[in-house]
């Protein structure tokens, strides 16, 4: 932490919180509001402009930073450029008042922070929010019968994912620490139609909105599935910026949401969005009276089994393609070329 916005990692003025001994943390265990304490330190009162997260380097007997790909049991090294030297610079400023405590939560988007680089290598492209510790958000339960189907739950605004999680062993999910406002919640699972709940309110920094209960969990309709794949090319080529591809649908008088997204391979630009449902989404508008009533949304745009595909990368102009139709088969040659 440093009060100077321009201080480099070798300049004076840094205050460190050092974990001793060093600790390896499984980020996938930190979901549904679970926190891992990283320590505390006294600070001089004032305005702080920089916060950096410095990781241990891989080496020695074990891997300090690693990833296990879905469907694998093999631990692979995670390349962390600059994170073991200058550190991951986190975009956040905060004030320290004399006699008061400031608690900061690092909300690490694990799913969006790891990209492939070809030849089975993985690179850390950290997406981390610094947010208050007040516990609020959106909670609920999905049927435990779905838990073997890679269920994900996300809170979205304006067609962008704000927070995402996976249910616990009891089917419970909790999208924690959301800025007060209105959110669209999207639930995905393999071989199931997406479930979309529009206009879910989060009233304050301490309120929680429930979407379902343990006795009346959310179930999901069965669906055939397909895949969309291709290559995203960046011009000019970038060795550091990763492209992301999102499959979206819109609803009449309702939101546009991301059904699935994936980072393209940093080296080849290849991507595959697998297990996209061909059936129409199950749709509900939030109501405080539970259970929510879902209906099959035949009025989605561009339609059941059809998606609008967005390709984006930092510093490049977003491109969209619609409709991409998997209702009659996989679409594996959907390519994009992104320009500044």
pLDDT of residue 214: 96
Question: Can you give the pLDDT at residue 288?
Answer: 96
pLDDT at site 84: 64
Q: What is the CA radius of gyration of the chain?
A: 21
Identify any residues that bridge with 295 across adjacent strands, giving them in sequence order.
Answer: 283
Has this prediction a pTM greater than 0.85? no
pLDDT of residue 132: 65
pLDDT for position 289 = 96
Those residues of the chain that have pLDDT short of 50 are: none
What is the per-residue pLDDT across 132-161, written as a single tens digit (0 to 9) for each? 666 789 999 999 999 999 999 999 999 999
Q: Count other Cβ atoms within 10 Å, centred on residue 150.
A: 15
pLDDT of res. 148: 93
pLDDT for 230 equals 98
What per-residue confidence (pLDDT) applies to 61?
Answer: 64
> CA-to-CA distance for 273 and 230, rounded, in angstroms?
9
Quick one: three-class SS letters along the chain? CECCCCCCCCCCCCCCCCCCCCCCCCHHHCCCCCCCCCCCCCCCCEEECEEEECCCCCECCECCCEECCCCCCCCEEEECCCCCCCCEEECCCEEECCCCCCCCEEEECHHHCEEECCCCCEEECCCEEEECCCCCEEEEEECHHHCCCCCEEEEEECCEEEEEECCCCCCEEEEECCCCEEEEEEEECCCECCEEEEEEEECCCCCEEECCCCCCCECCCECCEEEEEEEEEECCCCCCCCCEEEEEEECCCCCEEEEEEEECCCCCCEEEEEEEECCCCEEEECCCCCCCCCEECCCCECCCCEEEEEEECCCCCCEEEEEEECCCCCECCCCEEECC
pLDDT at 315: 95
């Amino acid at each position: 932490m440093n009060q100077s916005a321009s201080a480099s990692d070798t300049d004076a003025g840094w205050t460190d919180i050092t974990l001793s001994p060093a600790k390896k943390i499984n980020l996938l265990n930190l979901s549904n509001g679970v926190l891992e304490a990283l320590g505390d330190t006294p600070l001089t009162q004032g305005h702080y402009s920089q916060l950096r997260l410095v990781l241990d380097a891989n080496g020695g007997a074990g891997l300090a930073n690693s990833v296990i790909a879905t469907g694998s049991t093999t631990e692979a090294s995670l390349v962390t450029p600059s994170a073991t030297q200058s550190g991951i610079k986190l975009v956040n400023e905060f004030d320290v008042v004399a006699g008061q405590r400031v608690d900061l939560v690092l909300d690490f988007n694990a799913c969006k922070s790891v990209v492939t680089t070809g030849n089975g290598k993985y690179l850390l492209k950290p997406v981390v929010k610094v947010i208050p510790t007040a516990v609020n958000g959106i909670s609920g339960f999905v049927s435990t019968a779905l838990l073997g189907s890679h269920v994900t739950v996300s809170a979205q605004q304006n067609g962008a994912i704000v927070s995402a999680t996976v249910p616990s062993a009891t089917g419970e999910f909790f999208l924690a620490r959301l800025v007060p406002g209105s959110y669209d919640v999207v639930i995905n699972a393999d071989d199931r139609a997406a479930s979309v709940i529009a206009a879910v309110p989060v009233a304050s920094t301490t309120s929680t909105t429930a979407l379902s209960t343990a006795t009346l969990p959310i179930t999901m309709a069965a669906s055939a599935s397909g895949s969309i794949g291709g290559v995203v090319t960046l011009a000019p080529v970038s060795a550091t910026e990763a492209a992301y591809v999102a499959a979206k649908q819109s609803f009449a008088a309702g939101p546009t949401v991301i059904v699935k997204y994936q980072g393209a391979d940093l080296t080849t630009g290849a991507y595959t969005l697998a297990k996209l449902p061909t059936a129409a989404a199950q749709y509900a508008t939030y109501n405080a009276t539970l259970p929510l009533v879902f209906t099959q949304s035949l009025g989605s745009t561009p339609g059941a089994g059809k998606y609008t595909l967005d390709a984006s990368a930092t510093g490049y102009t977003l491109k969209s393609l619609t409709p991409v139709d998997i209702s009659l088969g996989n679409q594996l040659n959907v390519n994009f070329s992104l320009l500044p």
